[in-house]
Structure 1
Amino acid sequence: MKITRKIWAVFFIMMLSLVLAACSGKEDTSSKEAPKEEAKSVQTITSDELQSNLDKKDWVVVDTRITDAYNGWKLEGVERGGHIKGAVDFSATWLTVDAKDKEKQLEAALKDKGITSDKNVVLYDANGKDAKAVAAFLTDKGFKNLYTFDVNEWASTKDLAMESYPNYEMLVPAAWVNDLIKNENNGKPYKIFEASWGDEAPDYKKGHIPSAVHINTDEVEEGPVWNRLKDPALEKFALNNGITTDTTVVLYGSDSMPAYRVAVILKYMGVKDVRVLNGGFTAWSNAGYDIDKKDNAKTAGTEFGATVPANPGYIIDLPQAKEILADKEGSILVDIRSWDEFTGKISGYDYIEAKGRPAGSVWGHAGSDNSNLQDFRNIDSTMKNGQEILAMWEKDGITPDKNLSFYCGTGWRAAEVLFYADVMGLEHISLYDGGWNEWSMDPSNPVETGAPSK
């Protein structure tokens, strides 16, 4: 009996040890799994590590700052402006945009930029916030190999390559406009204009940038063709608004398209320093700067300072458009309208009856209708990545080495794209002002419809 009890006691102790070991084993397994969870979290990366992986196909480097910083502006104390050479852009500000198809647009942006979950994704910023916001967004989408990086580390090392658009200064951030107002352009003449159609200016009256004056686009163009005004009338427009060739002119709007229209005409006239607020009034209001509701009156001037036009090749007319079409090897007339307008399914305008395109023109993309340019704008209405624009064009032979003249229905959409092309540093560029409206008015002008044959 005693032996049996001893055996049972030993057996009990053995079983208890096994149970404790099993429990201990579970705890050990849990502690070993913790690093796996850590590996899934966002990690940091050094300049050396980033440089060694920069050109690898399974890595993508993403600038999460505002688009202006990517374009070339030195913001948030960064020593050099522009982006890390080879980086794509996906701004944290895009995540805060109020748009009904926001998710669809963000997904499309990820795809266009090659930001996919099978890659190692490096997200960089200068404020320690933007990269984290984008990392959280991507984590929710199942991305696991995420890294953050402080671009200050890269920008402070001169031999590490950074890129900017050649004429990035033409597109300005809200911070630059705010500084312009505060320091009064260092004593040099400047004007800020809200550009939109009509004298009523409802958006201007709701609130505008301090000191801004309203420009009605009827001040620079007239129907029925809706070409720019004749040169003497344009000079009068400049004098009415106190604009000279040496005035720094900043243009913006709730929709930026009219601002680009006026900007291009001013450059044609000879104004040397023409700027457009990237992202329009929304960029200003989102930045939290002061908003004025006072109706600021125009201040007239007495002299423009040059014979209009001082830059005549920037805008061309029907005869030059025909010359471009005739030069099939070196020039392209680029259609900045929707596909349905280009192919002749619709005219796109209630006051243009004819459908189709000038024979020989090439589709350069636009948007779904004549009120938007989604193929050239980010979700926050800032300028889209220039490399993506060039890649989109290259498929149809629209390349920077050629003489490119952009047209649309009446010059608004094409003016915006011309301005972007200028920002990107393209040199042989112009606006065909009359566009489809003027071309279609003469039945002797050759017209095409349908998809072009390859």
Structure 2
Amino acid sequence: MDPLVSTQWLADEIGASDLRIVDASAFLPEQKRNPALEYEACHIPGAVFMDLANLVDTTAPVPNTLPSAEKFASRMQSLGLGDGSRIVLYDDSPVKSATRAWFMLTMFGAQNVALLDGGIAKWKAEGRPCAQGRETLRHRHFTVWSDESHVRSKADVLRNLKDRREQVIDARGAGRFTGEQKETNPALASGHIPASRNVPYASLFRPDGTWKSADEIRALFDAAGVDLSRPLISSCGSGMTANVLIFALHLIGKDDVSLYDGSWSEWGADPATPKETGPQPAVQPA
């Protein structure tokens, strides 16, 4: 299964015994939308709902932190996602939350995970069927396993400021990156991690919500001054849209990319962390 599948591919595959479809919609508080209610009102037939808002480490000091392997496996089993499942994720979210679900599933050992290109919006625009209510599947075994080699902590990012082994990329919009747009949380400073490069996650999509081509994705990172020959750390506001950049890079064959899970929610709240404001330095011609 390719990492990105079309609505036609999914329509042809629905009903396969090993296929699991997952609605992984999640919204920011200011968007004032309820993903569970929207799922119950209309979802792709057979899809289960992955509650990302509660699939977190509730003991962590910052919001939206990755859960333990045990908690994740238990939740996947209850959804009917198990070892050997082919999993197709979609969302109807402005923050493209299915990429967060993709990152977690691959980190916690799922082997065959894809995103639906265009999400449920494209599915509905094509007049394809929706189901109502909640789907329940029988429990399946999901092995407890975790590979945290692609997760970075605040200490890792601080260390990286000195050795510069990895280049930091920031998925937030340009206004938040430069500091011209203030954070909605008044406890957070404005600006960005020093020496990071800005690739706004929304720039990776066409107007209809489908992903841009591999060549277009590569060109966006190049234009932002991202050195694709180096390992990267992806950051954002709260660890959500950073996964959009990670998935986009996966589409072009680059997988030495890590997630700064605390992102600006952690970095911006700490008075001791260094911060920069203003635009990133211009990219020098080769």
Structure 2 length-normalised TM: 0.86
Which residue of structure 1 aligns with residue 152 of structure 2? 316
The 5-angstrom pairing of residues 18-97 of structure 1 reads: none
1:392 aligns with 2:220: yes
Letter in 2 for 1:235: A
1:208 aligns with 2:37: no
1:177 aligns with 2:177: no
Which 4+ residue blocks in structure 1 deviate beyond 6 angstroms? none
Corresponding residue SS for 1:250: strand
Out of 237, 262, 266, which is 2:101 matched to? 262
1:232 aligns with 2:67: no
1:194 aligns with 2:23: yes
Out of 80, 83, 92, which is 1:242 matched to? 80
Alignment partners' CA distance in 2, 1:234 and 1:253: 19
Alignment partners' CA distance in 2, 1:225 and 1:203: 23
Alignment partners' CA distance in 2, 1:453 and 1:266: 35
- Percentage of matched positions with identical amino acids: 25
The 5-angstrom pairing of residues 319-358 of structure 1 reads: 319-328=155-164, 330-350=165-185, 353-358=188-193
Alignment partners' CA distance in 1, 2:190 and 2:122: 36
Alignment partners' CA distance in 2, 1:379 and 1:342: 23
1:402 aligns with 2:220: no
Corresponding residue SS for 1:289: coil
Cα deviation, residue 222, structure 1: 5.1
Cα deviation, residue 297, structure 1: 2.6
Runs of 5+ consecutive residues of structure 1 not aligned to the other structure: 1-167, 367-372
Cα deviation, residue 204, structure 1: 1.3
Contact 1:199 1:216 (C-alpha < 8 Å) held by counterparts:
no
C-alpha distance 200-194 of structure 1, shift in aligned 2 (>3 A): closer
C-alpha distance 268-390 of structure 1, shift in aligned 2 (>3 A): same
Which residue of structure 2 aligns with residue 364 of structure 1? 199
Contact 1:352 1:437 (C-alpha < 8 Å) held by counterparts:
no
C-alpha distance 360-426 of structure 1, shift in aligned 2 (>3 A): same
Structure having the larger proportion of residues in strand: 1
Corresponding residue SS for 1:412: coil
Alignment partners' CA distance in 1, 2:111 and 2:187: 34
1:276 aligns with 2:109: no
Q: Could you say what the CA RMSD is over the residues aligned between the two structures, in angstroms?
A: 2.3
Cα deviation, residue 433, structure 1: 1.3
Cα deviation, residue 418, structure 1: 0.8
1:383 aligns with 2:207: no
C-alpha distance 430-203 of structure 1, shift in aligned 2 (>3 A): same
Give deviations 1:346-369, integer Å, cap 9, x for gaps. Answer: 344346532111222222233xxx
Structure 1 length-normalised TM: 0.56
Alignment partners' CA distance in 2, 1:451 and 1:379: 25
Letter in 1 for 2:3: M
C-alpha distance 327-180 of structure 1, shift in aligned 2 (>3 A): farther
How many residue pairs align between the two structures?
A: 272
Alignment partners' CA distance in 2, 1:324 and 1:246: 37
Corresponding residue SS for 2:20: strand
Alignment partners' CA distance in 2, 1:320 and 1:294: 43
Alignment partners' CA distance in 2, 1:204 and 1:221: 20
Cα deviation, residue 199, structure 1: 6.8
C-alpha distance 243-322 of structure 1, shift in aligned 2 (>3 A): farther
Corresponding residue SS for 2:97: helix
C-alpha distance 210-415 of structure 1, shift in aligned 2 (>3 A): same
Letter in 2 for 1:393: F
Which residue of structure 2 aligns with residue 115 of structure 1? none
- In our comparison, the structure showing a higher alpha carbon Rg is 1
Which residue of structure 2 aligns with residue 52 of structure 1? none
Letter in 1 for 2:64: W
Cα deviation, residue 421, structure 1: 0.9
Contact 1:325 1:333 (C-alpha < 8 Å) held by counterparts:
no
Contact 1:407 1:414 (C-alpha < 8 Å) held by counterparts:
yes
Which residue of structure 2 aligns with residue 221 of structure 1? 56
Cα deviation, residue 398, structure 1: 0.7
Corresponding residue SS for 1:431: strand
Give deviations 1:229-254, integer Å, cap 9, x for gaps. Answer: 23322222222223224221111122
Cα deviation, residue 219, structure 1: 3.1
C-alpha distance 388-444 of structure 1, shift in aligned 2 (>3 A): same
Runs of 5+ consecutive residues of structure 2 not aligned to the other structure: 27-32
Alignment partners' CA distance in 2, 1:314 and 1:430: 4
Contact 1:220 1:262 (C-alpha < 8 Å) held by counterparts:
no
Contact 2:43 2:130 (C-alpha < 8 Å) held by counterparts:
yes
Give deviations 1:376-415, integer Å, cap 9, x for gaps. Answer: 1001111112222222222343132110111100122111
